């Protein structure tokens, strides 16, 4: 997650385009970075996946409020907090074997 936030910040500062091409999946840290693209592009057959932040404790995955707060602050800095933060909250009830996707 931290890598995606850092890459996204650099992309935002440098006004880089972000793109996911047909047939590819951009998930987790990639999805965070993709959100910062100016503009953001995704082919019709591309998938972009999101889920809530979590930490591993043994075999268990536990949602982390701190991680989700960092994601929320990042989304707000991108001007997406009202439109995008529900993608991460939606993943909170999942078992993290999958993620919510665009498309």
Q: What phi and psi values does residue 52 have, to the nearest 5 degrees?
A: -65, 155
Closest by CA to 47, choosing from 15, 24, 81, is 24
Q: How far apart are CA 68 and CA 19, in angstroms?
A: 24
For the full predicted model, state whether its pTM sits above 0.85.
Answer: no
Q: How far apart are CA 103 and CA 90, in angstroms?
A: 15
Mean pLDDT, each 10-residue run in order, the chain (103 residues):
94 95 92 93 90 89 90 89 52 47 57
Q: How far apart are CA 21 and CA 63, in angstroms?
A: 30
User: How many H-runs (helices) and E-runs (strands) does the chain carry?
Assistant: 4, 7
**What are the tokens at 79?**
């001007």
* Number of neighbours of residue 54 by Cβ within 10 angstroms: 18
CB 72 within 8 A of CB 80: no
pLDDT at 28: 86
């Amino acid at each position: 997650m931290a890598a995606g936030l850092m890459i996204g910040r650099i992309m935002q500062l440098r006004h880089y385009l972000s793109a996911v091409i047909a047939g590819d999946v951009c998930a987790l840290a990639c999805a965070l970075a993709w959100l910062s693209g100016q503009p953001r592009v995704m082919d019709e057959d591309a998938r972009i996946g999101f889920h809530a932040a979590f930490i591993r404790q043994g075999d268990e995955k536990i949602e982390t409020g701190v991680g989700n707060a960092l994601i929320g602050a990042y989304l707000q800095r991108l001007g997406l907090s009202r439109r995008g933060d529900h993608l991460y909250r939606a993943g909170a009830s999942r078992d993290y074997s999958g993620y919510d996707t665009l498309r």
